[in-house]
Structure 1
Amino acid sequence: MNLILWRHAEAEDFAPSDLARALTTKGRKQAQNVAKWLRTRLPDDAIVLASPAVRTVQTAETLSDQYRVVRELAPNASVDDVLTAAGWSKGIAPTVVIVGHQPTLGHVAARLLGNSEASWPLKKAGLWWIESRERDGDDQAVLRAAMSPDLV
């Protein structure tokens, strides 16, 4: 399984609620650039799951109009919520893109790649591409790519 953890792009600081915060002009450009990089590498059967926050939905929409909003991926979701939504490690699909938030995505990456309870920092619109594999009877998580919007 491929699990892509994609943080939403830059969003406005203020809105009527946290979930209503929309992307800024800079954020839209960040999301479009990363989506362009990602689109050329994703298989056709990839599933995109987004938090219900406006900023994550807008980020996901730059990649595809075929995405699902998953309430359990809202801000402050747990690592287990994210892993359950994606079906880690066998996957609900061969490739799952989670469009979500910090510090949750940093917690997921730290647990999978470092067996740690820390939260690793991830820039807005950045992503980690993690692959599950079995080696000598053990499930492993392997980093395939780490991307920052300023590198595309």
Structure 2
Amino acid sequence: MAGARQYKTQTPGAPVNSELSDGPVIAGTGSDGVIEIAGREVALDDVVQGAFETSGMSLDEWNAADGEKRDELIAAQRRDMESMFRSSQDLPGQDAAREAAVAAVNARKAARAQAQASSDSAVPAAPALPHSSEIDPASLAAPKLCRDGWLVPTTQRQLPRNFQ
């Protein structure tokens, strides 16, 4: 078969097949360099990739740009990452956040209990609904709500002959 399709596959766990990953390369990537930004180790490729993505340039424009322009964009990306890492270090730790959440829940419980206590003392309790067995059906003129449902007045009917 001359026109048969051929598919490239990769077995899970097998080494990377270089034929499958021959995509376009971003200029500045491909090194194993690691830099430290605000106390964290970051791969240089990640910084370059981030600079490329935020630059708004196409791949061809990025690769054709002179080294100084790319270096400026990469330095700006590094500064952005540094400020982001510094601001994330200012956030409270997980234990502090958990303690704050527990304190907020306890404060809400206390406020709810206080509101419940003040509403109980200010407003008398509503009278409980009567049970349907406590109401005389002959005295009903309209439907009445009871604890076990609605009680509806009905007219007396004569039983059928076979029930008499």
Q: TM-score, normalised by structure 2?
A: 0.16
The structure whose Rg is larger is 2
Give the structure with the higher percent helix: 2
Q: TM-score, normalised by structure 1?
A: 0.17
Q: Whose relative contact order is higher, 1 or 2, with alpha carbons under 8 Å and at least 6 apart?
A: 1
